[in-house]
Amino acid sequence: MKKTIITVVGEDTVGIIAKVCTYLAENNINILNISQTIVDGYFNMMMITDTSMASKKLSVIAEELDAVGKEIGVVIRVQLEDIFTKMHRI
């Protein structure tokens, strides 16, 4: 399994989850865990995904999700789980 962390942050609008999840499904990326909140009109979502079955490289997925984010007005970041974990250690 190749776990990847995907974060989505921005002003809340209709269809953010649908757009991101549609991209993931179309690219054979499985969502293992998802958490989302809306605080004072700002949307925040974090997903743990399995990209081991994806046909595209992680760098391409990150670029394409960045473009999806720009299209819907949010910032989408993609990181391998081990890099994310190391960056967020206290």
pLDDT tier, 1 (very low <50, low <70, confident <90, very high otherwise): confident
Q: Where are the domains of the chain?
A: 3-87
* Topology given in CATH for the domain delimited by 3-87: Alpha-Beta Plaits (3.30.70)
Nearest C-alpha neighbor of 28 from the set 4, 5, 46, 54:
54
Asked whether residue 90 carries a pLDDT value surpassing 80, the answer given is no
Contact between 33 and 6 (Cβ < 8 Å): no
Amino acid at 76: I
Between CA 6 and CA 62 the distance in angstroms is 9
Between CA 7 and CA 53 the distance in angstroms is 20
Express each pLDDT in 14-62 by its tens digit. 999 999 999 999 999 999 999 999 999 999 999 999 999 998 999 999 9
- What pLDDT is recorded for position 80? 86
- Structure tokens of 43? 């949307």
Express each pLDDT in 51-86 by its tens digit. 999 989 999 999 999 999 999 999 999 998 666 555
> Quick check: pTM over 0.85?
yes
